[in-house]
Amino acid sequence: MKTKQFMCGITLIELLTTLSAVAVTLTVGVPTFTTIQATVCRGEATSALMTSFKYARSEAARHSSAVQLCASTDGLTCSTATPPNWSTGWILLADLDDDGAIDDLVHYANFTEPGFTLRTQLVDQNDTAVTAITLSSNGFPNATGTFTFCDAREYRVLTLGYVGRIEQSASGQGCP
């Protein structure tokens, strides 16, 4: 008596069809994913800077003391480079007893592998370039200027005014 034997596995045609579908999906999907990732990174950094400024203003008002926002590469001290590299992150420092010396690290934003560059143009009331921003106890900054986030596709410009508000003032394709 003969019994039927069932074949297990897949045919060569089925394998090639599946591999071609995967190849097409990856060819179309990977560049799109890279674009989405860059957009998310840019938006995250823009939002983090705006949040840091709002937090700095509230901390200055809450403690009735000066708060300093500066670029930092280690998360503990302000960067001494000229110009400072804001792309890796920044810190928020508070002078709690109003003696002119920094007492407390309040906030730290860190970007280990930034997919963007962050250029700053900050000047004080005398049009002198500054590398850090100090907000007084009333929330007013000692400087104004722009923060320009650039990546391979787009840019966003955040503008800091004399009243301490930071808002998005421009965006577009490329990097100005």
Q: pLDDT per residue over 82-123, tens digit each?
A: 888 888 889 998 887 767 667 788 888 887 766 778 888 999
The label of the residue with tokens 């999906």 reads 25
pTM of this prediction exceeds 0.85: no
Which pLDDT value is given to residue 4?
67
Q: Distance between CA 96 and CA 65 in Å, rounded?
A: 6
Q: Phi and psi of 62, rounded to 5°?
A: -65, -40
* Banded model confidence at residue 17, pLDDT cuts 50, 70, 90: very high
Q: Taking all residues of the chain, what is their mean pLDDT, rounded to a whole number? A: 83
- 62 or 99, greater pLDDT: 62
3 state SS for the chain: CCCCCCCCCCCHHHHHHHHHHHHHHHHHHHHHHHHHHHHHHHHHHHHHHHHHHHHHHHHHHHHCCCEEEEECCCCCCCCCCCCCCHHHEEEEEECCCCCCCCCEEEEEEECCCCCCEEEEEEEECCCCECCEEEECCCCCECEEEEEEEECCCEEEEEEECCCCCEEEEEEEECCC
Q: Distance between CA 156 and CA 173 in Å, rounded?
A: 9
- Going along the chain from its start, the domains and CATH numbers come out as 12-173 (3.55.40.10)
Asked if the model's pLDDT at residue 170 lies above 80, the reply is no
Asked if the model's pLDDT at residue 20 lies above 90, the reply is yes
- 5 or 52, greater pLDDT: 52
Asked if the model's pLDDT at residue 145 lies above 60, the reply is yes
Which pLDDT value is given to residue 100?
65
Asked if the model's pLDDT at residue 156 lies above 90, the reply is no
Which pLDDT value is given to residue 159?
92
Q: pLDDT per residue over 119-129, tens digit each?
A: 889 998 888 88
The answer to whether the Cα torsion of 4, 10, 11, 17 is positive or negative is positive
